Amino acid sequence: MEILKELFDEKIIEILNLFMHNPEKQFSLTEISNASKINITSTFRILNKLVDKEILKVIVIGKIRIYQLEKNKKTIELLSFLKKGTDPVQEFTQQISSHPRVKKIVLESRENNSAKILIVGDFLPSEKINRLCEEIKNRHNFKINFVEISEIQYMKLREFKNYGLEKKIIWERKTFIS
């Protein structure tokens, strides 16, 4: 996604991302402006451009204009192109790292369509993690197998010389003391 921001107008990409992540949702001008953190005049200009290109549709209710992603060949191709850029492991890491009890995330191994991950922390939300794994499997056809381990178990595992656990860390909470 970063390469697109370098090639194209970053504001357009932000607004497209909003609609891409919420394809069924309808937004008002101010909702789009607030969510994308783009001023209202620029947002209005971009929305008009996207409506002209038949990427968005306008629903007029009285004096209010509501915007929604148009369901046509252009948007389906655009969505598939933009979704290819999302890495399932990165998406998983971003979601799970927001939980305060997660201390580290270790990528044990990765193949074409699966990954094995260790999540270091105590009293982790297993149901939430399982739901996220299922969502990623459905969206990306990518299976994530994870194991929860405590900080003490992590410290013991780290003592294995040939294991190289420290090199496999993909995310770490800054307050974690090793």
Q: How do residues 27-50 score in pLDDT, each as one tens digit?
A: 999 999 998 899 999 999 999 999
pLDDT digit string (tens) for 97-135? Answer: 888 999 999 998 888 889 999 999 988 888 999 999 999
CB-based contacts of 86, cutoff 8 Å, min separation 6: 1, 140
What pTM was computed for the model? 0.53
Tokens of 99: 């939980």
Residue 5 has pLDDT above 70, yes or no: no
Tokens of 115: 């990954």
Domains of the chain, each with CATH number or no CATH: 2-84 (1.10.10.10), 88-172 (3.30.460)
Element (H, E) at 95: helix 88-97
Three-class SS state of 113: coil
Residue 1 has pLDDT above 80, yes or no: no
CB-based contacts of 125, cutoff 8 Å, min separation 6: 99, 101
pLDDT digit string (tens) for 141-171? Answer: 889 999 999 999 988 888 876 667 788 888 8
